[in-house]
Amino acid sequence: GEDVEQSLFLSVREGDSSVINCTYTDSSSTYLYWYKQEPGAGLQLLTYIFSNMDMKQDQRLTVLLNKKDKHLSLRIADTQTGDSAIYFCAEHPPPGNTGKLIFGQGTTLQVKP
């Protein structure tokens, strides 16, 4: 079946690291994405990782992928109040399901000053 799961809420202090976790079900997914949504706005693409990679770093963002456990995580270093938002992970199924992104329900990140 198709199901992407995330924890619903995470609260951290400004300057700490945040780790947002996600599990997915389709082991043949090709790409996995992280999107950010601020209140009343659309989705902003943060980063992505190809399924043959274990890790990807992009400035303050680090993505870790454990294919065996179908587990994806997003680490935000030195979290700022501007990082407060809802974070969605999404999987892109293999060819044959072109175009369909499957999203989790989102993790609300609250950053306290």
Out of 34, 88, 91, 109, the residue judged to bind another protein by CB under 8 A: 88
Q: Is 105 in the site for another protein (CB under 8 A)?
A: yes
Q: Binding to another protein (CB under 8 A): which residues in 5-64? A: 31, 33, 35, 41-45, 48, 50
Beta strands in 1-113 (DSSP E): 5-6, 9-13, 18-23, 31-37, 43-50, 55-58, 61-66, 71-76, 85-92, 102-103, 107-112
CB of 15 to another protein, least distance (A): 29
The 8-class DSSP code of residue 40 comes to T
Q: How far is CA 39 from CA 12, 25, 61, in A?
A: 19, 28, 21
- Using an 8 Å Cβ cutoff, are 21 and 73 in contact? yes
- Using an 8 Å Cβ cutoff, are 112 and 53 in contact? no
Identify which range of 10-18, 64-72, 75-83, 94-102 contacts another protein by CB under 8 A: 94-102
Q: Which is nearer to another protein, 15 or 94 (CB)?
A: 94
Out of 74, 79, 91, 92, the residue judged to bind another protein by CB under 8 A: 92
Residues within the interface to another protein (CB under 8 A): 4, 31, 33, 35, 41-45, 48, 50, 88, 90, 92, 97-106
